[in-house]
Structure 1
Amino acid sequence: MRRTSYCGSIGTGCHDTVEPIIRSWLASWPSAATPHVKIRIFGSEITYEDAVLSLYCYENSVQGAGDFLLEGHVNAPPDAAVLLLGELVQRCAKQGFAADIDYVEVDEDDTWIGEELTIRTAL
């Protein structure tokens, strides 16, 4: 199975803003389950996993960073994964937030087997 690994950021440090963006993105797929949200004293995180997508989105712990980081994989080749990940970037842009996601095809050991590419908002 071809797989795409990704990592990126969403340009807001506000959990109350990021969570609805992630939820609406996931809700756009018919088979999406509910993401798990954990709010901690020093930040928050959102995790999600199904047969297609794994997502770990967490508040950047660097003081003053003001963003959320995300990472995971899509069980699809990059040409299909870019459509899914691009939709998340578009949802961020519609809310007025910068977002960028780097993605690359990987093998079963998570070794890169392609060129890393980037999806970025145009604000």
Structure 2
Amino acid sequence: MKNFSSLMIVGAILSISAPALAESRAVNVSIGSIGGALDNAVLQTVRQVIGFAVGTGTVDKFIVYSPREGGPIPKEGGLSACAEVGFGVTNAKFKAFVQQLRSITPRSGTFLNVELTASCRLN
């Protein structure tokens, strides 16, 4: 009976902590054009925000998926990348970084997608 009770307690603890392990620790960012010229000001702003986050340690891993040497380069330009939270960075600081990215508003004809993910993947 004691073993069963212990097993139930351990199971309850693991079920409570499981969502913490599955939280988003990275953000995918993609910028592109939907037909017209790309809003280059938005592209530069996103690069600056991510660069500052890398410089301050908010982001430890930054992977650019496109444009990439040997890969397709959209003729309008753009960016597809992932930024992963730095070691020891608080959730509040990472959430503020993501909110800063989400607050950037591109002009009509340009899209900016900011999507949370568990981690960055290598292509």
Task: Calculate the TM-score normalised by the size of structure 1.
Answer: 0.45
Question: Which of the two has higher C-alpha Rg?
Answer: 2
Structure with higher strand content? 1
